[in-house]
Homo-oligomer: A and B are copies of this chain.
Amino acid sequence: MLKNKYVLDPWSIIEDKFDSTTVVDSESVFSLGNGKIGQRGNFEEDFSGNQSIGNYISGIYYKDKTKVGWWKKGYPDYFAKMVNCPNWNTIRIEINNKILDLNKCEVFSYRRELNMMEGWCERKVKFETPEKEKIKIVSKKFICLERENIGVIKYSITSLNKKIKIKILPSIDINIKNNDANWNQPFIETIGIETNDNYSKVNSKVINSDFQIATFFKTKYFINSNEVRTTYNKSNVKNLIGSSSEFDLNTNDELSLLKIGGYVNSNDTNFDEFENLIQKELKNSIDLGFENLLNENSKAWNKIWKDSDIVIDGDIMSQQGIRFNIFQLNQTFNGNDPKLNIGPKGFTGEKYGGVTYWDTEAYCIPFYLGTKKSIVAKNLLNQRYNQLPNAILNAEKIGLNHGAALYPMVTANGEECHNEWEITFEEIHRNAAIVQAIKKYLNFTDDFEFVNKKAIKILIAISRFWSQRVNYSNDLNKYVILGVTGPNEYENNVDNNWYTNYSAKWCLEYTIETLDKILKSEINTYNKVVIGTSLEKNEIKKWKKIIDNIYLPYSK
């Protein structure tokens, strides 16, 4: 994709042509985020072409009623989906009373750069309107790494060939819906609106849940870099919350808008405290100004790269690709908040609902172990520990018992969300990914306390799952695992998938090894584990029998 559409560059993704038909694709590529809030690379001004506005807050989700043609036993009630929030990025521009819409203009120069080294995105466009005004727009923005609730936009507009009258309406667009809604219903409702000159705020509530969010912004105007005063007229556009201002611009005068905005949410803050927190965030940032905030953010990204860059000499495409991956992992999740997890698509869109998959343990924890403090991986594993009761309920749905656990395929809070029998209840190797992540974490940290108190309980519950899920085949004189979907996630009802069978064996081995280690070092801890989990000698005996006798098919 990058090969054809974007310019090769070791540190940036660069789009140097305007193509109104691929705006939606580029919106995903030019996404920005700080691990807590994030957004697609939408244009700030109106655009009548195909686009997909998206702003998301990690951990804020809607329980979307499950959609399924043929209901099967054990299907969950809902699929948790990250909420598409009111859009604080919106800036409606009117030039001589006509709404600016790039889709209706002739663009003669276009360049968008996602600078991954410094974490900002800049778009420079020159175009001619249907009324023959030649205009230049420059929009530069970033989401603050060190101010987790806000992002910053500097939006500049210059007329290149004549005097123009500009009306500008920086606003929050509340006419936003999730594209991935099962039933085309809204996920949030507006419960309060406030506009006060250059400040606006929208309070929203996630429907059928306790989640509340506030979307907010504040602005300043500059002409040719000098701050200017203006008058504010409350928006009369129903879905755009904000105030408009009007300016007469001479040829080559540059009007700039500084817009700082973002979200606070009830995962962190009581609803009553929203307003205080917002004012604090704005006070601490607006006076610093754009350049200082940009520098602060560049430094934060610099620090990330120091710990996580991978240099590939001699292959610029691979260099650009690996840095894009590292950049996205850091935009998606930063490990600061022990409540959050890693959405499969980050903030680039709604596919997969933005909630937790086994990718967290299989692919992501190794990266964060290598590039962040170990507390980050520990927090992620702690979430699985806290969700163990739900994983046990999940295994009970397929008839297992005595504390056997099947971790969910997809989850926001520990409850299974995926409703497809051959994945939900057959793609069971995901259980082994949790064990692998525990082993990696332990190898990295020697955090025996975590293992002794928490991880061992996960290991035992998962071993119980495997030991109950196998069958004994008299024909083969072996333990077999029937009816699974292997890691290709495609072939269903497979008997004795090698990877799955081997994973089962490996999990049992690692659990026994870990129990032995605990026994040898701390007999009291071992006894506590045995009592706390009602672990029986016969269980371990059966695990060993399975280890020695599991069927691992091979082609002659």
Partner among B69, B492, B493 whose Cβ is within 8 Å of the Cβ of A68? B69
* Bound CA span A382–B367, Å: 64
Instruction: Say whether A554 faces chain B, with CB atoms less than 8 Å apart.
Output: no
The answer to whether B420 and A70 have CB atoms under 8 Å apart is yes
A74 CB, nearest partner CB in chain B, Å = 13
Please, what's the 1-or-0 string for A415-427, where 1 marks a CB less than 8 Å from any CB in chain B? Answer: 0000110000000
Q: State in angstroms the CA–CA spacing of A515 and B67 once bound together.
A: 48
Contacts of A492 in B (CB 8 A): 492-493
CB distance from A357 to the nearest CB of B (A): 15
Q: Are B493 and A69 in contact (CB under 8 A)?
A: no
For A493, give the chain B residue with the smallest CB separation.
B493
A66 within 8 A of B: yes
Among candidates B67, B419, B420, B483, residue contacting A67 with C-beta atoms closer than 8 Å: B67
Q: What is the minimal beta-carbon distance from A500 to any residue of chain B, in angstroms?
A: 15
Q: Which of A67, A420, A493 is the most central at the interface, judged by chain B CB atoms within 10 Å of its CB? A: A493
**Chain A 103-116, CB within 8 Å of chain B: the 1/0 string?**
00000000000000
Q: Min CB distance, A54 to chain B, in Å?
A: 22
A69, A70, A420, A492 pick with most chain B CB within 10 angstroms: A69
Residues of B within 8 Å of A420, CB to CB, are 69-70
CA distance A483 to B483 in the complex (A): 11
In the bound complex, what is the Cα–Cα distance between A419 and B419 (angstroms)?
A: 15
Closest B-chain residue to A492, C-beta based? B493
With A and B bound together, what is the CA distance between A492 and B419 in angstroms? 17
Within 8 A of B (CB), among A472-500: 483, 492-493
> Chain A 121-157, CB within 8 Å of chain B: the 1/0 string?
0000000000000000000000000000000000000
In chain A, residues 385-434, which have Cβ atoms closer than 8 Å to a Cβ of chain B? 419-420
Q: How far is the CA of A419 from the CA of B70 in the complex (A)?
A: 8
Q: Mark A52-79, 1 if CB is under 8 A from B, else 0.
A: 0000000000000011111000000000
Give the CA-CA distance A419 to B69 in the complex, in Å: 7
Q: How far is the CA of A374 from the CA of B493 in the complex (A)?
A: 44
Q: Which residue of B lies closest to A67 (CB)?
A: B69
Cβ of A145 to closest chain B Cβ, rounded Å: 36
Chain B residues, CB < 8 A from A419: 69-70
Which of chain B's residues have a CB closer than 8 A to the CB of A483? 493
Name the residue of chain B whose CB is nearest to the CB of A66: B69
Task: Collect the chain B residues with CB atoms within 8 Å of residue A493's CB.
Answer: 483, 492-493
How far apart are A324's CB and chain B's nearest CB, in angstroms?
29
Q: Kindly provide the distance from the CB of A132 to the nearest chain B CB, expressed in whole angstroms.
A: 46
Report the minimum CB–CB distance from A416 to chain B (whole Å).
13
Q: Which residues of B contact A67 (CB under 8 A)?
A: 67-69
Question: Chain B residues near A68 (CB, 8 Å)?
Answer: 67-69
User: Bound state CA distance, A69 and B66, in angstroms?
Assistant: 7
The docked-state distance in angstroms from the alpha carbon of A66 to that of B69 is: 7
> Interface digits, A197-209 against B, CB 8 Å rule (1 contact, 0 not)?
0000000000000
Type the 1/0 row for A486-528, where 1 means its CB is closer than 8 Å to any CB of B: 0000001100000000000000000000000000000000000
Nearest-CB distance from A419 to chain B (Å)? 5
With both beta carbons as reference points, the residue of chain B lying nearest to A420 in the complex is identified as B70
Task: For A183, give the chain B residue with the smallest CB separation.
Answer: B183
A284 to nearest B CB, angstroms?
45
**A538 and B146 alpha carbons, distance in the complex (Å):** 74
Q: For residues 1 through 60 of chain A, which have their beta carbon under 8 Å from a beta carbon of chain B?
A: none
A residues neighboring B (CB under 8 Å): 66-70, 419-420, 483, 492-493
8 contacts between A and B (CB under 8 A): A67-B67, A67-B68, A68-B68, A69-B419, A69-B420, A70-B419, A492-B492, A493-B493
**Other 4 A-B pairs with CB < 8 A, given A66-B69, A68-B68:** A67-B67, A67-B69, A69-B420, A70-B419
